[in-house]
Structure 1
Amino acid sequence: MNIHTGEKLHECDQCGLTFVWASNLKSHLKVNSKEKPHSCSLCGKSFSQLQNLKAHQKIHTGVREYMCFQCEKTFITAEHLKRIHRNRNTSLHAGFTQSSSLSSHKINNLSRLVHLLSSATLHLCLS
C-alpha cells in the first residue's frame, strides 16, 4: 500500500468496502460478523469496538466534554457535535447558505480553533 496514492488494497469479502490499512479491515470485519465482545457493565449493551463502548459509557456518567463554540451546547461525543449538531445548524451558526462559503469560513477559523484547543480542556466547534 502506498499512503501517498491513497490506494485501498484491503477489501472486505462480505460487503466490498476497501481500506488503506489492514487493521481497519480487521475492525470492520467485527462489525460484519456481528461479534460484540465489549459490554457495558452498567446496562449490558454490547459493542463490536472498544471505542464505541467508551463513548457509550459517557451516557451513564453524564460527561459532556465537547462543546459548540457558537451556542455553547455540549455533547457526549465529538461525533454528535460534528455530524448531528453542526450539520443541522450550519446556517444558524455560520450564517451561510452555500457550502463553499461555509468551507471558507471553517478554513479561516482553523487557527482560532487550534489556539482554543491548545488552551482548553473542552473540544470546541467554531461553526
Structure 2
Amino acid sequence: MVNENPGLQRALMMQSFRDLERAQDWMVTLARADASQKLARCLNLIALNHQTRDAGRSDQFQSNSLTFELPLSRSDIADLLGLRSETVSHQLTHLRRAGVIAIGKLRQVSILDLKALRRRY
C-alpha cells in the first residue's frame, strides 16, 4: 500500500524523522539538563501532546495557556526524569510561584505562560 502511494510514503517518513528528532532531543534533555529544565521540557511535551490529541492541531500552540490533567503522578514524573519526587514537587512549586503554571485539584495543571515555560529549557 505504501509503495503504491508515494505521498503516504513521504508523510510516514517525515513523521518518523520528527519522532526520531523528538527522541534525540529528549535524550539530550535527560543527559544534560538540570531539574528545572527537565520538568519544563516534560510539561511542555505533555501539554503539546494533550493539545494535539484533543484539538487536532499542528505542533504549534494557538494560545499562550492551556489546562490539562497530568497523565503521570509526581513520582512517575520523577522516575521518568531521573529525579526525586521531592525535587519534582519543589520545581512545580517554583513554577507556580513564578506564575508560569497553576496547580488545581488532583493532577490538573494550567500552563499560564507557555512562552515563559519554554524559556526555562
TM norm. shorter chain > 0.5? no
- TM-score with structure 2 length normalisation? 0.27
Task: Work out which structure has the larger RCO, using CA pairs closer than 8 Å and 6 or more positions apart in sequence.
Answer: 2
Choose 1 or 2 for highest CA Rg: 1
Question: Whose helix proportion is higher, 1 or 2?
Answer: 2
